[in-house]
Chain A
Amino acid sequence: MPDPDERPEKEFAEEWRDAAYNCFSSGHKFCREVCPVMQVTRNESWSPTAFHANVVAMEKGELEVADVAADYVNCTGCGACEVRCPNSLFTGDFYRFRTRTVDLVKAVRGLAVEQGVHQPGWRRWNQLTDERRHEPVLDGTPVDQGRVRDWAEGLELPIGGESILFVDCEAAFVRTSVPRSVARILSLAGYEFGLMNEQWCCGGPAAEMGYDEQARRFARHNLDDWRAAGVRRVLVLDPHDYITFTEDYPRYFGDAYDIEIVLVVELLAELIREGRLTPHVPVERTVTYHDPCRLNKRKGVWREPREILRAIPGLTFHDVDRVSQWSYCSGGGGGLPVEKPELTAKISEQRVGKAAELGVDTLVSACPWAERPLSDAGRARSIDVVDLHELLAESLGVSP
Protein backbone atom coordinates (compact mmCIF):
# COMPACT_ATOMS: atom_id res chain seq x y z
CA MET A 1 0.00 0.00 0.00
CA PRO A 2 1.42 3.44 -0.88
CA ASP A 3 2.57 5.65 1.98
CA PRO A 4 -0.48 7.88 2.64
CA ASP A 5 1.74 10.94 3.03
CA GLU A 6 3.15 10.48 -0.43
CA ARG A 7 -0.15 10.37 -2.24
CA PRO A 8 -0.20 12.97 -5.03
CA GLU A 9 -3.61 14.05 -3.74
CA LYS A 10 -2.05 14.81 -0.36
CA GLU A 11 0.66 16.95 -1.91
CA PHE A 12 -1.95 18.67 -4.07
CA ALA A 13 -4.16 19.36 -1.07
CA GLU A 14 -1.26 20.96 0.76
CA GLU A 15 -1.10 23.59 -1.93
CA TRP A 16 -4.85 24.08 -2.25
CA ARG A 17 -6.16 23.49 1.27
CA ASP A 18 -6.32 27.13 2.36
CA ALA A 19 -8.30 28.10 -0.72
CA ALA A 20 -10.53 25.05 -0.28
CA TYR A 21 -11.21 25.64 3.43
CA ASN A 22 -11.94 29.27 2.61
CA CYS A 23 -15.05 27.90 0.89
CA PHE A 24 -15.63 24.71 2.90
CA SER A 25 -15.80 26.56 6.22
CA SER A 26 -18.30 29.05 4.74
CA GLY A 27 -20.28 26.86 2.40
CA HIS A 28 -23.00 29.44 1.96
CA LYS A 29 -23.48 28.74 -1.73
CA PHE A 30 -24.02 32.27 -2.96
CA CYS A 31 -22.17 30.92 -5.98
CA ARG A 32 -24.80 28.37 -6.94
CA GLU A 33 -27.35 30.46 -8.75
CA VAL A 34 -24.80 32.35 -10.82
CA CYS A 35 -23.06 29.15 -11.95
CA PRO A 36 -24.22 28.36 -15.50
CA VAL A 37 -23.61 24.63 -15.14
CA MET A 38 -25.55 24.50 -11.89
CA GLN A 39 -28.41 26.45 -13.49
CA VAL A 40 -28.95 23.87 -16.20
CA THR A 41 -28.08 20.65 -14.33
CA ARG A 42 -28.88 21.21 -10.61
CA ASN A 43 -26.15 18.68 -9.94
CA GLU A 44 -24.58 19.43 -6.55
CA SER A 45 -21.44 17.45 -7.44
CA TRP A 46 -20.81 19.99 -10.19
CA SER A 47 -21.04 23.06 -8.00
CA PRO A 48 -18.19 25.36 -6.96
CA THR A 49 -18.81 24.27 -3.37
CA ALA A 50 -18.27 20.62 -4.26
CA PHE A 51 -15.10 21.45 -6.21
CA HIS A 52 -13.62 22.89 -3.01
CA ALA A 53 -15.04 20.25 -0.65
CA ASN A 54 -13.35 17.51 -2.68
CA VAL A 55 -9.95 18.99 -1.83
CA VAL A 56 -10.75 18.67 1.86
CA ALA A 57 -11.69 15.04 1.27
CA MET A 58 -8.47 14.47 -0.72
CA GLU A 59 -6.44 15.86 2.15
CA LYS A 60 -8.11 13.48 4.54
CA GLY A 61 -7.47 10.52 2.26
CA GLU A 62 -11.17 10.00 1.53
CA LEU A 63 -10.91 10.65 -2.21
CA GLU A 64 -8.59 10.06 -5.13
CA VAL A 65 -8.50 12.33 -8.13
CA ALA A 66 -9.69 9.50 -10.36
CA ASP A 67 -12.96 9.42 -8.35
CA VAL A 68 -13.85 13.00 -9.20
CA ALA A 69 -11.91 13.98 -12.34
CA ALA A 70 -15.03 13.69 -14.53
CA ASP A 71 -16.95 16.06 -12.24
CA TYR A 72 -14.42 18.81 -12.91
CA VAL A 73 -15.30 18.76 -16.60
CA ASN A 74 -18.48 20.60 -15.68
CA CYS A 75 -17.11 24.12 -15.44
CA THR A 76 -16.82 26.79 -18.11
CA GLY A 77 -14.26 28.80 -16.15
CA CYS A 78 -16.63 31.74 -16.28
CA GLY A 79 -15.57 33.13 -12.91
CA ALA A 80 -19.12 33.91 -11.74
CA CYS A 81 -18.74 31.87 -8.58
CA GLU A 82 -15.53 33.68 -7.67
CA VAL A 83 -16.78 37.19 -8.10
CA ARG A 84 -20.17 36.46 -6.44
CA CYS A 85 -18.60 34.67 -3.49
CA PRO A 86 -18.59 37.01 -0.47
CA ASN A 87 -15.10 35.74 0.31
CA SER A 88 -13.96 37.53 -2.85
CA LEU A 89 -16.50 40.30 -3.28
CA PHE A 90 -16.55 41.56 0.28
CA THR A 91 -13.24 40.49 1.78
CA GLY A 92 -10.93 39.32 -1.04
CA ASP A 93 -9.13 42.62 -1.52
CA PHE A 94 -8.97 43.20 2.26
CA TYR A 95 -7.17 39.94 3.00
CA ARG A 96 -5.43 39.67 -0.36
CA PHE A 97 -6.95 36.23 -0.34
CA ARG A 98 -9.95 35.33 -2.43
CA THR A 99 -11.95 32.38 -3.72
CA ARG A 100 -10.01 30.54 -6.44
CA THR A 101 -12.47 28.19 -8.08
CA VAL A 102 -11.27 28.74 -11.65
CA ASP A 103 -7.63 28.08 -10.79
CA LEU A 104 -8.60 25.12 -8.62
CA VAL A 105 -10.64 23.49 -11.38
CA LYS A 106 -7.69 23.89 -13.76
CA ALA A 107 -5.32 22.48 -11.15
CA VAL A 108 -7.48 19.39 -10.47
CA ARG A 109 -7.70 18.79 -14.21
CA GLY A 110 -3.91 19.05 -14.31
CA LEU A 111 -3.53 16.61 -11.44
CA ALA A 112 -5.84 14.16 -13.22
CA VAL A 113 -3.80 14.27 -16.44
CA GLU A 114 -0.60 13.88 -14.44
CA GLN A 115 -2.10 10.75 -12.88
CA GLY A 116 -3.04 9.40 -16.30
CA VAL A 117 -6.76 10.12 -15.90
CA HIS A 118 -7.92 11.54 -19.23
CA GLN A 119 -11.23 12.74 -20.64
CA PRO A 120 -11.37 11.26 -24.15
CA GLY A 121 -12.48 14.42 -25.96
CA TRP A 122 -9.91 16.61 -24.26
CA ARG A 123 -7.13 14.14 -24.84
CA ARG A 124 -7.84 14.03 -28.56
CA TRP A 125 -8.28 17.80 -28.81
CA ASN A 126 -4.89 18.42 -27.22
CA GLN A 127 -3.16 15.70 -29.21
CA LEU A 128 -4.40 17.31 -32.42
CA THR A 129 -3.42 20.76 -31.15
CA ASP A 130 0.04 19.45 -30.37
CA GLU A 131 0.42 17.99 -33.86
CA ARG A 132 -0.95 20.99 -35.75
CA ARG A 133 0.17 23.78 -33.39
CA HIS A 134 -3.41 25.06 -33.48
CA GLU A 135 -6.71 23.86 -32.13
CA PRO A 136 -8.76 21.54 -34.35
CA VAL A 137 -11.42 24.23 -34.36
CA LEU A 138 -14.08 22.73 -36.59
CA ASP A 139 -14.17 19.34 -38.21
CA GLY A 140 -13.37 19.82 -41.84
CA THR A 141 -11.58 23.15 -41.47
CA PRO A 142 -7.97 22.67 -42.52
CA VAL A 143 -5.82 23.77 -39.61
CA ASP A 144 -2.09 23.87 -40.04
CA GLN A 145 0.87 26.12 -39.51
CA GLY A 146 1.12 27.01 -43.17
CA ARG A 147 -2.35 28.59 -43.09
CA VAL A 148 -2.27 30.53 -39.84
CA ARG A 149 -1.91 33.88 -41.62
CA ASP A 150 -4.27 33.09 -44.52
CA TRP A 151 -6.99 35.22 -42.89
CA ALA A 152 -4.83 38.30 -43.58
CA GLU A 153 -4.46 37.69 -47.31
CA GLY A 154 -4.44 40.92 -49.28
CA LEU A 155 -4.21 43.16 -46.19
CA GLU A 156 -0.46 43.64 -46.67
CA LEU A 157 0.38 43.53 -42.98
CA PRO A 158 4.07 43.38 -42.05
CA ILE A 159 5.57 40.52 -40.07
CA GLY A 160 6.91 41.58 -36.67
CA GLY A 161 7.33 45.15 -35.46
CA GLU A 162 6.81 46.70 -32.07
CA SER A 163 3.10 45.76 -31.90
CA ILE A 164 1.59 42.57 -33.27
CA LEU A 165 -1.97 41.29 -33.48
CA PHE A 166 -2.49 37.82 -31.99
CA VAL A 167 -5.44 36.01 -33.54
CA ASP A 168 -6.96 33.04 -31.70
CA CYS A 169 -7.39 29.71 -33.48
CA GLU A 170 -11.17 30.04 -33.97
CA ALA A 171 -10.82 33.49 -35.55
CA ALA A 172 -7.72 32.63 -37.59
CA PHE A 173 -9.21 29.54 -39.22
CA VAL A 174 -13.01 29.87 -39.00
CA ARG A 175 -14.16 33.39 -38.17
CA THR A 176 -11.64 35.11 -40.40
CA SER A 177 -13.81 38.17 -41.00
CA VAL A 178 -13.36 39.12 -37.32
CA PRO A 179 -9.57 39.60 -37.44
CA ARG A 180 -9.90 41.12 -40.91
CA SER A 181 -12.33 43.69 -39.53
CA VAL A 182 -10.02 44.44 -36.61
CA ALA A 183 -7.06 44.85 -38.97
CA ARG A 184 -9.02 47.18 -41.27
CA ILE A 185 -10.23 49.30 -38.34
CA LEU A 186 -6.75 49.66 -36.84
CA SER A 187 -5.33 50.60 -40.23
CA LEU A 188 -8.09 53.19 -40.68
CA ALA A 189 -7.08 54.77 -37.36
CA GLY A 190 -3.45 54.78 -38.47
CA TYR A 191 -2.44 52.34 -35.73
CA GLU A 192 0.67 50.44 -36.78
CA PHE A 193 0.92 46.72 -36.13
CA GLY A 194 2.17 43.52 -37.69
CA LEU A 195 1.70 39.78 -37.41
CA MET A 196 3.65 37.10 -35.61
CA ASN A 197 6.41 35.31 -37.37
CA GLU A 198 5.30 31.81 -36.37
CA GLN A 199 2.16 31.95 -34.26
CA TRP A 200 1.12 28.86 -32.35
CA CYS A 201 -2.00 28.38 -30.23
CA CYS A 202 -1.61 30.48 -27.06
CA GLY A 203 -1.65 27.29 -24.96
CA GLY A 204 -4.58 28.49 -22.87
CA PRO A 205 -6.99 25.72 -23.88
CA ALA A 206 -4.40 23.05 -23.03
CA ALA A 207 -3.91 24.70 -19.63
CA GLU A 208 -7.66 24.77 -19.06
CA MET A 209 -8.03 21.07 -19.84
CA GLY A 210 -5.11 20.06 -17.63
CA TYR A 211 -2.36 19.56 -20.25
CA ASP A 212 0.10 21.80 -18.44
CA GLU A 213 3.34 20.67 -20.04
CA GLN A 214 1.91 21.32 -23.49
CA ALA A 215 0.52 24.71 -22.43
CA ARG A 216 3.92 25.81 -21.17
CA ARG A 217 5.68 24.56 -24.28
CA PHE A 218 3.35 26.55 -26.51
CA ALA A 219 3.71 29.63 -24.34
CA ARG A 220 7.50 29.35 -24.48
CA HIS A 221 7.40 29.15 -28.25
CA ASN A 222 5.24 32.25 -28.58
CA LEU A 223 7.27 34.30 -26.14
CA ASP A 224 10.52 33.31 -27.90
CA ASP A 225 8.97 34.24 -31.26
CA TRP A 226 7.95 37.67 -29.94
CA ARG A 227 11.39 38.28 -28.49
CA ALA A 228 13.16 37.22 -31.69
CA ALA A 229 11.11 39.73 -33.68
CA GLY A 230 11.56 42.59 -31.20
CA VAL A 231 7.86 42.63 -30.29
CA ARG A 232 7.01 44.84 -27.29
CA ARG A 233 3.23 44.81 -27.42
CA VAL A 234 0.66 42.14 -28.23
CA LEU A 235 -2.85 43.19 -29.28
CA VAL A 236 -5.44 40.58 -28.36
CA LEU A 237 -8.98 40.34 -29.69
CA ASP A 238 -10.07 37.13 -27.97
CA PRO A 239 -10.96 37.32 -24.24
CA HIS A 240 -9.63 33.79 -23.71
CA ASP A 241 -6.21 34.72 -25.08
CA TYR A 242 -6.29 37.85 -22.96
CA ILE A 243 -6.65 35.67 -19.83
CA THR A 244 -3.83 33.38 -21.01
CA PHE A 245 -1.43 36.27 -21.65
CA THR A 246 -2.25 38.15 -18.44
CA GLU A 247 -2.62 35.23 -16.03
CA ASP A 248 -0.92 32.07 -17.35
CA TYR A 249 2.14 33.60 -19.03
CA PRO A 250 3.03 35.74 -15.96
CA ARG A 251 2.84 32.57 -13.86
CA TYR A 252 5.12 30.69 -16.28
CA PHE A 253 7.70 33.42 -16.84
CA GLY A 254 7.59 35.59 -13.69
CA ASP A 255 9.47 38.87 -13.68
CA ALA A 256 11.07 38.08 -17.03
CA TYR A 257 7.67 38.59 -18.69
CA ASP A 258 7.98 42.08 -20.11
CA ILE A 259 5.51 42.04 -23.02
CA GLU A 260 2.66 44.56 -22.92
CA ILE A 261 -0.77 43.08 -23.49
CA VAL A 262 -3.51 45.25 -25.00
CA LEU A 263 -7.14 44.21 -25.31
CA VAL A 264 -8.43 45.27 -28.72
CA VAL A 265 -11.89 46.24 -27.41
CA GLU A 266 -10.30 48.68 -24.97
CA LEU A 267 -8.03 50.06 -27.68
CA LEU A 268 -10.95 50.61 -30.07
CA ALA A 269 -12.98 52.43 -27.40
CA GLU A 270 -9.97 54.68 -26.80
CA LEU A 271 -9.54 55.39 -30.53
CA ILE A 272 -13.23 56.40 -30.69
CA ARG A 273 -12.83 58.63 -27.61
CA GLU A 274 -9.80 60.31 -29.19
CA GLY A 275 -11.73 60.96 -32.39
CA ARG A 276 -9.43 58.72 -34.44
CA LEU A 277 -12.41 56.54 -35.35
CA THR A 278 -15.90 57.91 -35.98
CA PRO A 279 -18.63 55.38 -36.68
CA HIS A 280 -20.98 57.08 -39.11
CA VAL A 281 -22.81 54.46 -41.18
CA PRO A 282 -26.16 53.75 -39.44
CA VAL A 283 -26.71 50.12 -38.49
CA GLU A 284 -30.44 49.55 -38.14
CA ARG A 285 -30.61 46.75 -35.61
CA THR A 286 -32.18 46.25 -32.19
CA VAL A 287 -29.44 44.72 -30.10
CA THR A 288 -28.38 43.57 -26.70
CA TYR A 289 -24.81 42.83 -25.67
CA HIS A 290 -23.47 39.57 -24.27
CA ASP A 291 -20.73 40.26 -21.72
CA PRO A 292 -18.04 37.63 -22.31
CA CYS A 293 -17.40 35.98 -18.94
CA ARG A 294 -13.67 36.41 -19.28
CA LEU A 295 -14.00 40.16 -19.73
CA ASN A 296 -16.84 41.09 -17.39
CA LYS A 297 -16.54 38.67 -14.50
CA ARG A 298 -12.91 37.72 -14.66
CA LYS A 299 -11.38 41.03 -15.68
CA GLY A 300 -13.95 43.70 -14.86
CA VAL A 301 -14.03 44.90 -18.49
CA TRP A 302 -17.60 45.87 -19.40
CA ARG A 303 -17.66 49.63 -20.06
CA GLU A 304 -15.69 49.77 -23.31
CA PRO A 305 -17.83 47.38 -25.38
CA ARG A 306 -20.88 49.46 -24.37
CA GLU A 307 -19.05 52.65 -25.28
CA ILE A 308 -18.44 51.23 -28.76
CA LEU A 309 -22.07 50.16 -29.17
CA ARG A 310 -23.34 53.58 -28.07
CA ALA A 311 -21.09 55.23 -30.67
CA ILE A 312 -22.71 53.31 -33.55
CA PRO A 313 -25.56 55.30 -35.12
CA GLY A 314 -28.83 53.55 -35.92
CA LEU A 315 -28.58 50.91 -33.21
CA THR A 316 -31.36 50.49 -30.66
CA PHE A 317 -29.50 49.13 -27.67
CA HIS A 318 -31.30 47.25 -24.88
CA ASP A 319 -28.59 46.88 -22.32
CA VAL A 320 -28.55 44.39 -19.46
CA ASP A 321 -26.23 45.59 -16.72
CA ARG A 322 -22.98 43.84 -15.94
CA VAL A 323 -24.05 42.51 -12.52
CA SER A 324 -27.18 40.83 -13.90
CA GLN A 325 -24.90 39.27 -16.50
CA TRP A 326 -22.75 37.61 -13.86
CA SER A 327 -25.21 34.74 -14.14
CA TYR A 328 -25.13 34.68 -17.97
CA CYS A 329 -22.72 32.51 -19.95
CA SER A 330 -22.51 31.08 -23.46
CA GLY A 331 -21.25 27.74 -22.18
CA GLY A 332 -18.41 27.94 -24.70
CA GLY A 333 -15.47 28.15 -22.28
CA GLY A 334 -13.29 25.86 -20.22
CA GLY A 335 -13.32 23.04 -22.76
CA LEU A 336 -16.97 22.25 -21.97
CA PRO A 337 -18.11 22.16 -25.63
CA VAL A 338 -15.40 19.62 -26.41
CA GLU A 339 -16.51 17.12 -23.74
CA LYS A 340 -20.14 18.06 -23.15
CA PRO A 341 -21.59 19.87 -26.15
CA GLU A 342 -25.10 19.17 -24.88
CA LEU A 343 -24.44 21.22 -21.73
CA THR A 344 -22.93 24.06 -23.76
CA ALA A 345 -26.05 24.04 -25.94
CA LYS A 346 -28.35 24.22 -22.91
CA ILE A 347 -26.42 27.12 -21.41
CA SER A 348 -26.43 28.99 -24.72
CA GLU A 349 -30.15 28.39 -25.19
CA GLN A 350 -30.76 29.85 -21.77
CA ARG A 351 -28.62 32.90 -22.60
CA VAL A 352 -30.32 33.51 -25.92
CA GLY A 353 -33.67 33.11 -24.16
CA LYS A 354 -32.77 36.13 -21.99
CA ALA A 355 -32.05 38.11 -25.16
CA ALA A 356 -35.37 37.02 -26.67
CA GLU A 357 -37.24 38.44 -23.66
CA LEU A 358 -35.90 41.87 -24.63
CA GLY A 359 -37.42 41.65 -28.10
CA VAL A 360 -34.10 42.18 -29.87
CA ASP A 361 -33.16 40.92 -33.31
CA THR A 362 -29.42 40.79 -32.59
CA LEU A 363 -27.17 39.59 -29.82
CA VAL A 364 -23.74 41.23 -29.97
CA SER A 365 -20.83 39.06 -28.91
CA ALA A 366 -17.23 40.06 -28.28
CA CYS A 367 -15.77 36.57 -28.07
CA PRO A 368 -15.19 34.25 -31.03
CA TRP A 369 -15.57 31.18 -28.78
CA ALA A 370 -18.95 32.29 -27.43
CA GLU A 371 -20.21 33.04 -30.88
CA ARG A 372 -20.61 29.53 -32.23
CA PRO A 373 -22.85 28.11 -29.47
CA LEU A 374 -24.77 31.39 -29.23
CA SER A 375 -25.33 31.42 -32.99
CA ASP A 376 -26.64 27.84 -32.90
CA ALA A 377 -29.08 28.80 -30.15
CA GLY A 378 -29.93 32.09 -31.88
CA ARG A 379 -31.05 30.38 -35.09
CA ALA A 380 -33.91 28.66 -33.26
CA ARG A 381 -35.23 32.05 -32.12
CA SER A 382 -34.36 34.10 -35.22
CA ILE A 383 -31.80 36.14 -33.31
CA ASP A 384 -28.63 37.03 -35.19
CA VAL A 385 -25.40 36.77 -33.28
CA VAL A 386 -23.01 39.43 -34.51
CA ASP A 387 -19.44 40.17 -33.52
CA LEU A 388 -18.80 43.59 -31.97
CA HIS A 389 -15.68 44.26 -34.04
CA GLU A 390 -17.52 43.47 -37.26
CA LEU A 391 -20.43 45.67 -36.27
CA LEU A 392 -18.05 48.57 -35.64
CA ALA A 393 -16.32 47.95 -38.98
CA GLU A 394 -19.70 48.13 -40.71
CA SER A 395 -20.45 51.46 -39.10
CA LEU A 396 -17.01 52.76 -40.06
CA GLY A 397 -17.72 51.85 -43.66
CA VAL A 398 -14.92 49.29 -43.93
CA SER A 399 -15.59 45.83 -45.23
CA PRO A 400 -13.54 42.88 -44.07
Chain B
Amino acid sequence: MTYRHQEEMSPPPARRVTDVAITRFEHVYEVEPALMTEHVTQQSFPNWDTLRLVRSRADHLAWMHRHFAGKVISGEELLHDLDE
Protein backbone atom coordinates (compact mmCIF):
# COMPACT_ATOMS: atom_id res chain seq x y z
CA MET B 1 0.00 0.00 0.00
CA THR B 2 2.76 2.42 0.88
CA TYR B 3 4.92 3.62 -2.01
CA ARG B 4 8.63 3.28 -1.25
CA HIS B 5 10.85 4.16 -4.16
CA GLN B 6 13.73 1.78 -3.36
CA GLU B 7 11.37 -1.17 -2.99
CA GLU B 8 9.50 -0.34 -6.17
CA MET B 9 12.71 -0.27 -8.17
CA SER B 10 13.95 -3.59 -6.76
CA PRO B 11 12.09 -6.39 -8.53
CA PRO B 12 12.15 -9.88 -7.04
CA PRO B 13 15.09 -11.99 -8.29
CA ALA B 14 14.62 -13.49 -11.75
CA ARG B 15 14.30 -17.25 -12.32
CA ARG B 16 14.97 -18.60 -15.79
CA VAL B 17 12.05 -20.35 -17.50
CA THR B 18 13.36 -20.90 -21.04
CA ASP B 19 16.23 -19.51 -23.12
CA VAL B 20 14.17 -16.43 -23.85
CA ALA B 21 12.00 -15.98 -20.77
CA ILE B 22 12.35 -15.37 -17.06
CA THR B 23 9.92 -14.99 -14.19
CA ARG B 24 9.99 -12.72 -11.13
CA PHE B 25 6.38 -12.68 -9.90
CA GLU B 26 4.25 -15.80 -9.68
CA HIS B 27 2.68 -16.66 -13.07
CA VAL B 28 4.20 -13.55 -14.65
CA TYR B 29 6.68 -14.09 -17.45
CA GLU B 30 9.16 -11.65 -18.92
CA VAL B 31 11.38 -11.66 -21.94
CA GLU B 32 15.06 -12.36 -21.22
CA PRO B 33 16.30 -8.80 -20.61
CA ALA B 34 19.51 -9.41 -22.59
CA LEU B 35 17.36 -9.61 -25.73
CA MET B 36 16.25 -6.03 -25.26
CA THR B 37 19.49 -4.14 -25.09
CA GLU B 38 20.16 -3.41 -28.75
CA HIS B 39 17.21 -2.37 -30.91
CA VAL B 40 14.66 -1.45 -28.28
CA THR B 41 15.77 -1.00 -24.71
CA GLN B 42 13.51 -1.77 -21.78
CA GLN B 43 11.81 1.01 -19.85
CA SER B 44 12.08 1.76 -16.17
CA PHE B 45 9.40 -0.48 -14.68
CA PRO B 46 8.58 -0.15 -11.00
CA ASN B 47 6.95 -3.22 -9.45
CA TRP B 48 3.59 -1.52 -9.10
CA ASP B 49 3.41 -1.00 -12.84
CA THR B 50 4.07 -4.65 -13.68
CA LEU B 51 1.42 -5.74 -11.19
CA ARG B 52 -1.04 -3.09 -12.37
CA LEU B 53 -0.85 -4.42 -15.93
CA VAL B 54 -1.10 -8.07 -14.89
CA ARG B 55 -4.18 -7.39 -12.76
CA SER B 56 -5.75 -5.09 -15.36
CA ARG B 57 -5.33 -7.83 -17.97
CA ALA B 58 -7.08 -10.38 -15.79
CA ASP B 59 -9.88 -7.91 -15.03
CA HIS B 60 -10.22 -7.01 -18.70
CA LEU B 61 -10.37 -10.65 -19.84
CA ALA B 62 -12.99 -11.41 -17.20
CA TRP B 63 -14.94 -8.36 -18.38
CA MET B 64 -14.74 -9.51 -22.01
CA HIS B 65 -16.04 -12.91 -20.95
CA ARG B 66 -18.93 -11.40 -19.06
CA HIS B 67 -19.89 -9.19 -21.96
CA PHE B 68 -19.18 -11.26 -25.05
CA ALA B 69 -18.77 -14.96 -24.29
CA GLY B 70 -21.97 -16.95 -24.79
CA LYS B 71 -20.35 -20.18 -23.68
CA VAL B 72 -16.89 -21.48 -22.87
CA ILE B 73 -15.52 -24.33 -24.95
CA SER B 74 -12.47 -26.33 -23.96
CA GLY B 75 -9.55 -26.73 -26.34
CA GLU B 76 -10.21 -30.46 -26.35
CA GLU B 77 -13.75 -29.97 -27.65
CA LEU B 78 -12.49 -27.69 -30.40
CA LEU B 79 -9.93 -30.25 -31.53
CA HIS B 80 -12.57 -32.92 -31.47
CA ASP B 81 -14.81 -30.80 -33.71
CA LEU B 82 -11.94 -30.26 -36.14
CA ASP B 83 -11.23 -33.97 -36.35
CA GLU B 84 -14.77 -34.72 -37.35
* A-B interaction: yes
State the CA gap A179–B29 with chains docked (Å). 42
- Given A258-B6, A261-B2, are A94 and B48 also a contact pair (CB < 8 Å)? no
Instruction: Decide: B42 and A97 in contact? CB cutoff 8 A.
Output: yes
Query: Which A-chain residue is minimally distant from B21 (CB atoms)?
Result: A94
- Given A95-B42, A270-B1, are A89 and B52 also a contact pair (CB < 8 Å)? no
Instruction: Decide: A263 and B1 in contact? CB cutoff 8 A.
Output: yes
State the CA gap A94–B31 with chains docked (Å). 6
Instruction: Decide: B55 and A300 in contact? CB cutoff 8 A.
Output: yes
Complex interface bits, B25-38 against A, C-beta within 8 A gives 1, otherwise 0: 00011110100100
Which secondary structure dominates where chain B touches chain A? Answer: helix
Instruction: Decide: B36 and A96 in contact? CB cutoff 8 A.
Output: yes
A90 at the interface (CB under 8 A from B): yes
For residue B4, which residues in chain A have a CB less than 8 angstroms away from its CB?
258, 260
- Given A245-B3, A262-B1, are A97 and B63 also a contact pair (CB < 8 Å)? no
Which of B1, B2, B33 meets A96, CB within 8 Å? Answer: B33
Instruction: Decide: B3 and A260 in contact? CB cutoff 8 A.
Output: yes
Q: How big is chain B's contact interface, by range? A: 20 to 34
For residue A263, which residues in chain B have a CB less than 8 angstroms away from its CB?
1
Instruction: Decide: A96 and B45 in contact? CB cutoff 8 A.
Output: yes
Complex interface bits, B1-34 against A, C-beta within 8 A gives 1, otherwise 0: 1111110110000000000000000001111010
Instruction: Decide: B60 and A97 in contact? CB cutoff 8 A.
Output: no
Complex interface bits, A230-249 against B, C-beta within 8 A gives 1, otherwise 0: 00010000000000011000
Q: Give, as a whole number of angstroms, the nearest-CB distance from B6 to chain A.
A: 7
A324 at the interface (CB under 8 A from B): yes
Query: Which B-chain residue is minimally distant from A263 (CB atoms)?
Result: B1
Instruction: Decide: A323 and B63 in contact? CB cutoff 8 A.
Output: yes
- Given A93-B54, A100-B43, A245-B3, are A321 and B30 also a contact pair (CB < 8 Å)? no
Which of A18, A92, A246 meets B40, CB within 8 Å? Answer: A18
Task: Report B's interface with A, CB cutoff 8 A.
Answer: 1-6, 8-9, 28-31, 33, 36, 40-43, 45-46, 48-57, 59-60, 63
